[in-house]
Amino acid sequence: MKVTITHIDTACVLININGFKILTDPTLDNKDGFLPQYVSKPLAFSKKYCDPALSKDEIGKVDLVLLSHDHHSDNLDKKGRAFIKTVNTVLSTKDAVKRLKNDNTIGLDNWEEYSVGTEKVPQLKITAIPAQHTNIKRLDKVMGKVIGFTIEWEGQKNGCIYISGDTVLFEGIYELKKRKKVDIAILHLGAGAFPYLKKNLRVTMNGEEAIKTAKLLNPKSVIPIHYEGWWHFKQSAKSLKSEIEKSEDKDKFLWLTSGIETTLVN
């Protein structure tokens, strides 16, 4: 079973499993001009500095979208919203279903499984994994519901593919360790923060948590995404890479070049 991954923008990656194409968190807008891009409520704004590596035409037809959440523009933007309407199935949160009002969108609860019927990948299964979109637990509901995903199929030898969604390291990831063997962990990083809303508030993992997650889940490969291109990412790519290069698990980390297809399993 050949598996490849292509980073497109922020948390948007294209995963190709034996010809079955899965797109995550579609952000396809170009970088901003002078106006900041709306990110979330309340009063959370950011600015995008990078263009997507591929256009929607270059991405082509997609079989499935895994949308961790719909209410932040660095995970689903205007062009992304238009794109997901062209896909047969979008898996996301139940809150996203209510807001998007798209007939093709299915909401999943934590740990709920969804079986995908396709001849390309036997017994393809997606599981919704809990995520906590803030390091201050009492603010989790304010930040809105987010999920991660695991991707599994028949004959998978070394464990599942895990996509974290926008989360910090919390008990849900420790529960994932108990429930599933992870072969490839795709982590949303960047130490996203809005200090003018709440001092010390962070909404995604930083380098330290990425290293801890790598140790906890012990995957063969860790793929960092969602760590550059926006103002609210408070840990620079240079700082993140430097921190990880000093860790014992540095060889596990696979740094993608945007727009370039990389083989994970062959």
Q: Write down the pTM of the prediction.
A: 0.95
The encoded tokens of residue 214 equal 């790598």
Query: How far is 255 from 242, CA to CA, in rounded Å?
Result: 12
Phi, psi of 44, rounded to the nearest 5 degrees: -105, 115
pLDDT digits 0-9 by tens, 217-266: 999 999 999 999 998 899 999 999 999 999 999 999 999 999 999 999 87
Query: How far is 204 from 135, CA to CA, in rounded Å?
Result: 8
pLDDT digits 0-9 by tens, 58-80: 999 999 999 999 999 999 999 99
Annotate 97-111 with DSSP letters as a single string.
Answer: HHHH--TTEEE--TT
Q: Could you tell me the domains of the chain?
A: 3-265 (3.60.15.10)
pLDDT digits 0-9 by tens, 152-179: 999 999 999 999 999 999 999 999 999 9
**40 burial level (CB within 10 Å; 0-12, 13-18, 19+):** buried
Phi, psi of 11, rounded to the nearest 5 degrees: -100, 10
